[in-house]
Amino acid sequence: MKRGFGSDNHSGISPEILEAIASANVDHALAYGDDEYCQRTEDLFRQVFGNQAKVYFVFNGTGANVLNIDAMCRSHHAVVCSDTAHIHVDECGAPQRIVGCKLLTVPTPDGKLTPELVKTQLHGFGFEHHSQPRAISIAQATELGTLYTLDEIRALADLAHSYQMYLHMDGARLANAAVALGCNFRQMTTDCGVDCLSFGGTKNGLLMGESCVILNPALDVDMKYRRKQMSQLCSKMRFVAAQFEAYLSTDLWHRNAEHSNHMAALLYEELKSVPQAKVMYPVQVNSVFVQLPRQVWTALLDDYFFYDWDEANNVVRWMCSFDTTEDDITNFVAALKKRL
């Protein structure tokens, strides 16, 4: 497959991650998380997110999101989220099927919830005919590549807690958000009142494996059983933990995210010479959303793979990765100009 801009999942694996996996591939180790790699990495998560943090490694981002929702909700509950949220658009109804709860979606112009938007769904409490709002779920960065400020996260957490609800954060691209905001992971999550976090690394250089991070101890109830029932318990878990250990114990997470963010910013600058390309949202992390004439972007697909984000409005998404190069950007924009 030609190098392209389809997804940051399309890139390979950071050499440091491969080295960490190889280092863990010696002798035998206890299975299901009872090994020294998992124990060390669990300690590392507490250093990063706070002493109260409890991490549960899972196979993928959907697993992390659903496990977090299951920690917060029962089947008669509801989760308020943006209409572009991954849990609504790209998880094939997994939260509804596995947890049984309802998703209350809110239209958002930029992918971001606000207290005012959330309040439109906060009614029917105590009325047995309505699903009971129990959680708010946000993504940082959002599916549109936009970012919540720390104050905006705190405001949503305060709103949730004032209604005895919880705040969940989908952090598939949390590293990109932290780099863009100039903060660390704890400042953006624990210190803002986030109750649980889906923390990913696959989009930023890991091979596989994500994590469900419980930040509010009140939610850490029977989680090991819930993870097992959801088929998210990895037997050779040390190979997931070893990746996160290498990722968090060095500046790898920061370096990779900083590079992919920079490549998206470079792509945005190059697009300024293409008046037919209308950038739809602020370029804050490693994604660029562009509106183009249909004949242009469909023809460009012959050269590069990428996703049409909103086909009805001819909006496409271009993602940069930790291994995107300046030559990739130059060649891509040149191919685009040839199609105009």
Contact yes or no for 167/156 (Cβ under 8 A): yes
Cα–Cα distance measured from residue 261 to residue 241, given in angstroms and rounded to the nearest whole number: 25
Contact yes or no for 238/37 (Cβ under 8 A): yes
pLDDT tens digit string along 83-116? 999 999 999 999 999 999 999 999 999 999 999 9
The gap from C-alpha 65 to its chain's centroid, in whole angstroms, comes to 9
Cα–Cα distance measured from residue 160 to residue 135, given in angstroms and rounded to the nearest whole number: 7
How sure is the predictor about 2, in pLDDT bands with cuts at 50, 70 and 90?
confident
Tokens of 10: 């399309």
Q: How far is CA 204 from each of CA 44, 254, 326, rounded to the nearest angstrom?
A: 18, 9, 18
Reference 332, options 276, 256, 275, 268; nearest CA is 268
Q: Which H, E and C letters describe the chain, residue by residue?
A: CCCCCCCCCCCCCCHHHHHHHHHHCCCCCCCCCCCHHHHHHHHHHHHHHCCCCEEEEECCHHHHHHHHHHHHCCCCEEEEEECCCHHHHCCCCHHHHHHCCEEEEECCCCCCCCHHHHHCCCCCCCCCCCCEEEEEEEECCCCCCCCCCHHHHHHHHHHHHHCCCEEEEEECCHHHHHHHHCCCHHHHCHHHCCCEEEECCHHHCCCCCEEEEECCHHHCCCHHHHHHHCCCCCCCCHHHHHHHHHHHHCCHHHHHHHHHHHHHHHHHHHHCCCCCCEECCCCCCCEEEEECCHHHHHHHCCCCCCEEEEHHHCEEEEECCCCCCHHHHHHHHHHHHHCC
Q: Looking at the predicted structure, is the pLDDT value of residue 276 above 90?
A: yes
**What's the N-to-C CA distance of the chain in angstroms?**
24
Q: Looking at the predicted structure, is the pLDDT value of residue 1 above 80?
A: no
pLDDT tens digit string along 282-318? 999 999 999 999 999 999 999 999 999 999 999 999 9
User: What mean pLDDT comes out for the span 164-175?
Assistant: 98
The gap from C-alpha 227 to its chain's centroid, in whole angstroms, comes to 19
Cα–Cα distance measured from residue 202 to residue 243, given in angstroms and rounded to the nearest whole number: 10
Cα–Cα distance measured from residue 175 to residue 227, given in angstroms and rounded to the nearest whole number: 24
Average model confidence (pLDDT) across the chain: 97
pLDDT tens digit string along 140-168? 999 999 999 999 999 999 999 999 999 99
Proportion of the chain above pLDDT 70, given as a percent: 100
Identify the pLDDT of residue 322.
97
Say which amino acid occupies 42: E
Angle, nearest 10°, between helix axes 252-271 and 238-249?
70
Residue 186, exposed/middle/buried by CB under 10 A (0-12, 13-18, 19+)?
middle
